[in-house]
Structure 1
Amino acid sequence: MSAAAASAAPAMPPVKGSHALVATALAVGTFMQVLDTTIANVSIPTISGNLGVANDQGTWVITSFAVANGISVPLTGWLMQRFGVVRVFVLSVLAFTIASFLCGIAWSLPSLILFRVLQGAVSGPMIPGSQALLISIFPPHKKGMALAIWSMTTLVAPICGPLLGGHISDNYSWPWIFLINVPVGLFCAAICWSGLKGRETPTRKIPIDGIGLSLLVVWVGALQIMLDTGKDADWFSSPAIVVEAIVAGVGFIAFMIWELGEKNPIIDLSLFRNRNFSFGVLAFCIGYALFFGSVVLQPLWMQTWLGYTATWAGLVAAPSGMVAVLLSPLVGKNIGRFDPRWFATASFIVFGISYFMRSNYTADASYVTYMLPLLVQGIGMSMFFVAMLTILLDGVPDARVPAASGLSNFLRITAGSFSTSITTTFWDRHAALHQSRLAEATSVYDPRLQQSLGGLRDLGLNPTQALGAITRTMSSQAYLMSALDFFWICGWISFSVAGIVWLTRRPRGAAHAVAAD
């Protein structure tokens, strides 16, 4: 869609009267979709065991959703121009609800993977659609509040996913992690359609970029599969990973060349001519990658080496979501009164402080010690999404917000996929490095080691069992040291990214401008 055509579409007036119920339904739609990106993570062992497959096969439950969702998100702009924002969003929610039900009644791993692909594919318009509709129903002076509502759900859902998924898997049966979407999805679709059907956006019959879509499917699919399976396949020592990397790289280059010359591209790259969008998306993706990497690593470390259950690992992170929920409305109410770049800078600094606090963890710390840095993170979460979206949508016309939102969310999802793979690979490889150094620092003749082995034998362990216990303790310490390295690096990167924010211009006071620059 060209910039001129996009800007020609008139902006809708804000909804008159009370719109709290519609805003809640839109937020719930966002929450439901984001929740399903993480809710199955801690349930993979349960799902795999129930369906009679290995855990590495069960991870396709996650991969299949991520690949399909990553491909479908960039289609949002074209779909909403062709059929209307309200219609596409509501139909997406209904299709997501049906796919969730099918996932809940899946009878085998192939059927579950098929339904997860469907669930990911139809959910692409949900996040950018809810964001665009929230912005449209609030008056200009309350657009910051609209983004605050949207950001609360987007940040809290990844934290609630493992907590809710672990609780359901521990106390009920795994199909309920999908079936709980059914009543929620029906509520969201009904409220949004009844409240917004009279506010449908203008539609245009525009051709779909079939070649661009095909190239997008190829390179995004290859990239997502490479990222999700690379760690288990030992990355580029595997011929399959090398082939996937080549396909992703060549496909991406071909996609970019095609899109730059296409009259109606599937992804509107002209959005990057806006300085705020370009630098805003860059800072947005890096900040989210750091955040998502820590969300993945900490519960994984606590469950693997500290003996925490999935439920308790989720409870450590839960307070950060509560803080974000409490503070986000306050930030949204005041974001238009001050330069949003200060809020963005503060969020990166607070994130950095939280990471540095976690870089001082010990293996025998208390629940409160593990939880306090996440409370601090919650303060940064309350500002991060609101400020970054205000910056990157500045200068984007109302008609192009769905396309801009779809593109920024596509890049954010891709950054999260990179982060997950890089984080877990870094954690394993640096743990191996620390373990080798710990092993070099001792020997079987070390009096301290002999004393420890003697103490374990006195407790009834045979020499092999005692040595195994010592080895596990050493491995636990190595993984702790690797996690501390990760958090320390994240702290410095977070401080550095704050500087990128100041390469943007000051937004003009609203969540986004009505006309392009």
Structure 2
Amino acid sequence: MSLDGRTESAPLSLGQLILATLALGLGSFMNILDLTIANVSVPTIAGDLGVSYTQATWVITSYAVSEAILLPMTGWLALRYGQVKMFVVATLLFTLTSLFCGLAVSFPMLVIARVAQGAFGAAMIPLSQTLMASIYPPNRRGMAMGLWAMTTILAPIVGPLAGGWITEHLSWHWVFLINLPFGLFVAGLSWHLMHKRETPRMKLPLDRVGLALLVIGVGALQVLLDRGNELDWFESPEIIALGVVSLVALSFLIVWELGEQHPLVDLRMFRHRNYSIGVVCITIGMVAYFGVVVVQPLWLQSEVGYTPLWAGKVIAFSGVFGVMLGPILGANIHRTDARRVVTFGMLVFAASSIWSARFTPDVDFWTLGIARLFIGLGISCFFLPLFTISLSGIAPKDMAAASGLQSFMRNIGSSFGTAVMVSLWDHRTTLHHAQLSENFNPGNAPADTYLAQWQSLIGDRGAALAQVDRVVTGQAHLMATNDLMLLAGAIMGTLIIVAWMAKPPFGARGASGH
């Protein structure tokens, strides 16, 4: 019997290990991919289903929040049904609901299918991480985690590129239907290779009160974030009510879980200093990262004239260093102080974001791509060291629960980042548009000259005014985008201080039970 209670089996052969790594990595990749593959399709989905851009982002946030709510159940489900079986079943249900997403003919139908897709597939990410660690010998687990971490870096990058190509050449429906063959492949191969390595089962009572409080608290918070921009935030009684419900439910959840013998959300994990620091950095870092990942494609398509495919190509530059550095960092992370690697990543991300905030409307494709390349370098040195820091000191028997809670917080960060950054983008655009429009009034010589130039070209004063307004709107969107790039850089820069509060040793050396 191994430390995590797993029945000892013969080690996998090299060929089996490669195939198992492929299956587990692809399973995690698929799940995270679906957080971002629809990003560049949002304008197309909005137009096709007759909703606003802000409403269409529910396609992203509904998936993230439903997955976040069910992620803490991973530990309980893994104990009850076994880690391998649970991973396979979650993958099959994720694949089935992907079919429903692809067949959606209305916006409510699509959102409901996305909620189900996120809920059923919630266990895939933490269990793929746990199973990946279990099939490698201890001295190779750093490399295994490096390979696994590549999925968290590459999926948000490949998502916009794949989504753009599919949307442009096929239909947005295929953004979801593409999961079908890969999901069946992952489930079948994982079961074939690992069903004899199943973990022992244990029937623990389900924390129904904790689950109810979690659903109410996180659900109300997400609806607040999704509808806040439309309803003018806390000027609306509905938003105030949602805020009160979320605050009360989450407050009761914390109190309940700390006193529960078998908690759904094991908050006792946060007694580990490194776990707390790592999870806080990952969660807040996701706000900055997803703000950039979601807003920039919206700007490129709505104001710069990029197609979904070309917007995806810009975002794809971020994946170059993820492919190159993932396995290298994983194999060598134990040789260095993980905090130094995180600091380097945060500094590069912050510097690249600040540089991006200086772009002008005529910025070319390659300049955008190089900026994203360096943002990708920063992110490549961000996630893996933080995974290593957060899971140091966690006993093997608690790894599934710790990974589930970590993924829960990561999803909350991405969902919060998406909703808040898109809302800020809208608000900053409105503010900048109002400020710029103040200069276009009779008697302002430069404004009169500019308007006269357009009138001489177009020949009609009304059409000239409309053209000036389009220019002002474009400038306002650019300024709002640059504001958010600065904010993302500032968030990452501030997190450096938090990361240095972690205490070595990190990795397997620091884990209890080893």
Q: Tell me the TM-score normalised to structure 1 length.
A: 0.93
CA gap 1:224/1:377 in 2 versus in 1, 3 angstroms? same
Residue 220 (structure 1) aligns with: 218
- How far apart are the structure 2 equivalents of 1:287 and 1:33? 19
One-letter amino acid of the structure 2 residue matched with residue 185 of structure 1: G
1:180-219 counterparts in 2 under 5 A? 180-219=178-217
Query: In the comparison of the two structures, how many residue pairs are matched?
Result: 511
Higher alpha-carbon deviation: 319-328 or 24-33: 319-328
What is the rounded CA distance, in whole Å, between the counterparts of 1:418 and 1:76 in structure 2?
A: 22
Q: Structure 2 CA distance, aligned partners of 1:110 and 1:473?
A: 35
Give the conservation status (yes or no) of the 8 Å contact 2:46–2:56: yes
Q: 1:454, CA displacement in angstroms?
A: 1.8
Contact kept, 8 Å, 1:44 with 1:59, in 2: the verdict is yes
Aligned counterpart, 1:70: 68
Q: For residue 139 of structure 1, what is the aligned residue in structure 2?
A: 137
- Show the counterpart of 2:113: 115
* Aligned residue in 1 for 2:5: 9
User: In structure 1, how many angstroms separate the alpha carbons of the residues matched to 2:420 and 2:509?
Assistant: 33
CA contact (8 A) 1:103 1:116 kept: yes
Q: Give the alignment's Cα RMSD to 1 decimal.
A: 2.2
Question: Aligned in 2, Cα 1:8/1:300: closer, same or farther, shift over 3 Å?
Answer: closer
- The answer as to whether partners of 2:279 and 2:406 remain within 8 angstroms in 1 is yes
Find the aligned partners of 2:392 and 2:376 in 1 and give their Cα distance: 25
Tell me if the contact between 1:212 and 1:255 (Cα under 8 Å) persists in the aligned partners.
yes
Distance 1:14 1:272, change over 3 A: farther
Selected match of 2:239 from 235, 238, 241: 241
SS in structure 2 at match of 1:503: coil
CA shift in 2, pair 1:338/1:129, >3 Å: same
Task: Give distance in 2, aligned partners of 1:345 and 1:234.
Answer: 37
- Taking the aligned partners of 1:14 and 1:446, their CA distance within structure 2 comes to 81
Deviations 1:160-193 (A, max 9, x none): 2222222212211222111111110011111111
Change (3 A) 1:11 1:140: farther
Question: 1:299 deviation in Å?
Answer: 1.1
User: Deviation at 1:367?
Assistant: 0.8
- Deviations along 1:274-324, one digit per CA (max 9) or x if unpaired, are 000011111111222111111111111111211111111111111211221
TM-score (ref. length: structure 2): 0.94
1:107 to partner: Cα distance: 4.2
Instruction: Measure, in 1, the Cα distance between the counterparts of 2:290 and 2:42.
Output: 19
1:491 is displaced (CA, Å) by 2.0
Residue 396 of structure 1: aligned partner: 394
Match of 2:313 in 1: 315
Q: What is aligned with 2:227?
A: 229
Structure 1 counterpart of 2:457: 459
Opposite residue 392 of structure 1, the aligned amino acid is S
CA shift in 2, pair 1:116/1:326, >3 Å: same
Distance in 1 (CA, whole Å) between partners of 2:371 and 2:433 is 26
Within-5 A mapping of 1:491-510: 491-510=489-508
The correspondence for 1:419, drawn from 417, 420, 424, is 417
Shift of 1:211: 0.8
Which amino acid counterpart does residue 157 of structure 1 have in structure 2?
A
Q: Corresponding residue for 1:3?
A: none
Is the alpha carbon distance of 1:8 and 1:323 closer, same or farther for their aligned partners in structure 2, counting shifts above 3 Å?
closer
- Per the alignment, residue 470 of structure 2 pairs with 472
* Residues 144 and 511 in structure 1, CA contact (< 8 A), matched pair in contact too: no
Cα distance change of structure 1 residues 292 and 52 upon mapping to structure 2, 3 Å threshold: closer
- Name which of 30, 33, 47 aligns with 1:32: 30
> Which deviates further from its counterpart, 257-266 or 422-431?
422-431
Q: Identical aligned pairs, as a percentage?
A: 43
What does residue 102 of structure 2 align with?
Answer: 104
> What does residue 305 of structure 1 align with?
303
Deviation at 1:375, TM superposition (A): 0.7
- Please give the secondary structure, in 2, of the residue aligned with 1:459: helix
Larger deviation, residues 210-219 vs 234-243: 234-243
Whichever residue aligns with residue 455 of structure 1, its letter is Q
